[in-house]
Each structure stands twice: as C-alpha cells, then as structure tokens.
C-alpha cells in the first residue's frame, strides 16, 4: 500500500500545481480534478472516495411456507435408571411375617352351665259372697273361691295375708239393693280406703266398686268390712259381689 502512494504522489503534485502565467484555459474545457477526464484528453486517476453510509434497512420478507414433517427418528437406547432417573422394575413381594406373641387372641373358653331362671312370685285371688248382707264389725267372708294362687287368701276369715313383699292391687265390686253400703278396706286393722253407694228407693239396684294399690310386707293382712248391719250388699243366682287382690311387683 505504501508503494502505491509513492507512485501516485508525483501525479497528485503535478495535477495541483498552478497554471503558468499567461496561460489560458481552452474554451469549453472544464477541469476534472483528481481523475482522468476523457474530455481533456485523459488525466491522472483521482484518490478513491470514502465508503458511503449504510442505507436504511429493507422491509422484512414474507414468511416462507412450512416444510413437511420429516420421518420419525430411530428409538433411543434405554437409559440407566440410576443416571437418567427412569423408573425401575417393581420388585417381588416379600413374605408375610409371623404374628407377634403379644396381642394374639387366646383360645375360647368352655361354655358355662346354664343359670337358674329368675322366678316371679305369684299371689292372686278372687272370691265371691254366697249370701247377701254380711255382718258388720268383722271381715266380710267372701267364701266362694274363683282364684287363690298360693292360698294367701283365707275364705274362712275373709283375710288376705302377704307372703311376698311388694305392691298389691285390691278391688271390691258389689251389687247394692234395698239399703246403702259403707265398706272399708283395712290393712292390719286400720282403714286405708272407703267405698260408698247410696240406695235410691224405686231402683232395681245399683253397684259399688273401688280399688287401691297397697305396699305390703310379709305378714301384713288386708280385708273388707261393712260399717252397718243393715247394709245393701246383695247376691243372687244371677248377681255377684266379689273381692280380689294380686301382686303387681315384688320388692
């Protein structure tokens, strides 16, 4: 490159030297500094010009068409599970372990002997009168027995004697005819309830009835008794008067 400048330097100096005094330019001939001008009969070549500035970027071109899908590649080799993280094959199930000694159910025991069934004590009676208008001042003797479980009622005395302690229900039913009735239920000689029915003259007959629940201990006695000798308790072949009692619940 330096040798090229040495060759061009004399030419440059000669082309830029001032014209001789009195010299005149040929009419119609223009100067062409720095280059060989064809119109002047050929001069020396000028210095190369500088590179011009970059032009503006051109517009984007259109998108090309999608290419066709290529054929699938060959299947790769199975990687190492320890390196590649692939899931390994499942292992064989282990054997069932033995039961531990603690917590093991024992052998069933032998069946026991049947126990004794609890038995409900029984005590109940119903008795009727065989004759009307019983005597006053003493227990009414209901002497026709219908039921007498345990024989706790005595028809010869008209008294019930408790054998099984508990709650008992006693009830009286009597036909009333020709006179009123005042009947008392007594426990060990004390009046615990009173039953009354008045006689209405001209009526064929009325009835009196009533009941009581008593708590009895073993040995307690219960009976019915009328206050007046002229009482209207009546019986006939087709009419009954009765006294009943039974154990509700034992203690």
In this predicted model, what pLDDT tens digit does every residue of 7-50 receive, in sequence order? Answer: 665 555 555 444 444 444 444 444 444 444 454 455 677 777 77
Tell me how far apart the alpha carbons of residues 83 and 207 are, in angstroms, rounded to a whole number.
111
Q: Is the pLDDT of residue 149 over 50?
A: yes
**How far is it, in rounded angstroms, from Cα 102 to Cα 112?**
27
CA 165 from centroid of its chain's CA atoms: 48
What is the tens place of the pLDDT at every residue in 162-184? Answer: 999 999 999 999 999 989 999 99
Six-digit token string for 129: 């009168």
Contacts of 125 (CB under 8 A, 6+ apart): 145, 147, 148, 149, 152, 153, 160, 244, 245, 246
Percent residues over pLDDT 90 in the chain: 44
Are the CB atoms for 124 and 245 separated by under 8 Å? yes
Contacts (Cβ under 8 Å, ≥6 apart) of 87: 81
List the Cα angle 176/179/181 in 5-degree steps.
Answer: 60
b/e map 72-87, b = 16+ CB within 10 Å: eeeeeeeeeeeeeeee
CA 241 to chain centre: 62
Residue 109: pLDDT band by 50, 70, 90 thresholds? confident
What pLDDT is attached to residue 3? 59
Domain boundaries, the chain: 124-250
What pLDDT shows up at residue 27?
A: 43
Q: Which fold has domain 124-250?
A: Jelly Rolls (2.60.120)
DSSP 142-197: --EEEEEETT-EETTTTEEE-SS-EEEEEEEEEEE-SS-EEEEEEETTEEEEEEEE
Instruction: Answer whether residue 227 shows pLDDT above 80.
Output: yes
Which neighbouring-strand residues pair with 144?
Answer: 128
The answer to whether 242 and 127 have CB atoms below 8 angstroms apart is yes
Comparing 90-104, 122-136, 163-177, 208-222, the range with the smallest average pLDDT is: 90-104
């Amino acid at each position: 490159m330096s040798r090229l400048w040495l060759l061009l330097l004399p030419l440059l100096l000669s082309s830029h030297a001032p014209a001789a005094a009195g010299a005149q330019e040929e009419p119609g001939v223009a100067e062409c500094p720095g280059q060989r001008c064809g119109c002047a009969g050929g001069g020396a070549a000028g210095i190369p010009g500088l590179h011009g500035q970059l032009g503006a970027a051109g517009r984007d071109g259109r998108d090309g068409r999608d290419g066709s899908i290529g054929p699938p590649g060959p299947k790769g080799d199975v990687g190492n599970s320890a390196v590649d993280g692939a899931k390994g094959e499942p292992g064989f199930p282990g054997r069932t372990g033995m039961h531990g000694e603690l917590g093991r159910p024992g052998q069933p025991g032998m069946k026991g002997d049947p126990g004794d069934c609890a038995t409900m004590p029984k005590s109940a009676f119903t008795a009727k009168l065989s004759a009307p208008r019983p005597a006053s001042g003493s227990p009414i003797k209901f002497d026709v027995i219908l039921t007498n479980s345990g024989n706790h009622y005595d028809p010869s005395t008209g008294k019930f004697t408790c054998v099984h302690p508990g709650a008992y229900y006693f009830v009286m039913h009597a036909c009333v005819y020709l006179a009123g009735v005042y009947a008392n239920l007594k426990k060990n000689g004390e009046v615990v309830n009173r039953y009354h029915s008045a006689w209405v003259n001209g009526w064929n007959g009325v009835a009196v009835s009533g009941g009581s629940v008593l708590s009895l201990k073993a040995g307690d006695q219960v009976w019915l008794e009328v206050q007046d000798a002229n009482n209207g308790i009546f019986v006939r072949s087709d009419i009954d008067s009765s006294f009943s009692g039974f154990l509700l619940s034992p203690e």
